[in-house]
Amino acid sequence: MPSRAIARSLTTALALLCLSACSASMEMTISPQGTYSAVVELRDTTGTSFTEESECTALGDPQSLGVPDGTTVTTEYLTGDKDKGCLVTVSGVRIPSADEADNALVVRDGDQFSVTLPRFGGAAGATPGSADDSLNSVVEARVAITFPGAVTRAPGGTVTGSTVVWDDADVLAEGVSASGYAQQGRGVSWWERIGAAYWGLAALTVAGLVLGAATVRRRRRRRRREGDQAPSTRSAKGSAARARRRRR
């Protein structure tokens, strides 16, 4: 039965990372079919953590994560000129009902899914009340959870349609929770379903309509001008013909 060990293992790693400058992000997507996937990226910008690939591989141990059979867990060791890190991908995690598991990361409760990320404490070595007590001074953190339907509850998070985002490390350290509809698209407006990714397409479509309308107007004006000029041309030709007959 999937427990909060997934979140605990990853947030414990984050707490250790916070001995130095680091960044951490998690993107969770919940399927209306009753499973979820999560992509977690941890990076250390000082070079003191993830010095070996085995440190990353250990984070993806299914037994340590407490994931059920059938769950896929992969890790990718991240290297770069300025930082090293680990990308952990967990997919196909079955979501139990609320009465099946009291300690699950995600549960199905009636017509909604509920997610609870546990508290994992403050920054290592910080002195309470000091300016350095904030995790934001040493870590860039972001957690995004996307439900099938609209978000119905997300204290401290920024909600857009079916997605809630937290990007304050201190808030995340204290633990966060959210709920959203389990039915695909429920409570989400048509415009929110389109999403920001389609704004550019919409703008391009509008620009095309404006350009097309301008082209039609130019053609109509040109036809009117040609129509106005035609009688004058015929009149001039007729006068010339009469003058030639008189000369004969």
Q: Give the pLDDT band (50/70/90) at residue 30.
A: very high
Q: Give the pLDDT band (50/70/90) at residue 137.
A: confident
In angstroms, the CA 93 to CA 2 distance is: 7
Q: Supply the pTM of this predicted model.
A: 0.71
End-to-end CA separation in angstroms for the chain: 113
The residue with tokens 């007729």 is 238
CB 159 within 8 A of CB 151: yes
Q: Give the pLDDT band (50/70/90) at residue 124.
A: very low
In angstroms, the CA 147 to CA 130 distance is: 37
Both tokens of 99, joined, read 């009465």
User: Is 135 in a helix, a strand, or coil?
Assistant: helix
- Mean pLDDT on 154-171: 95
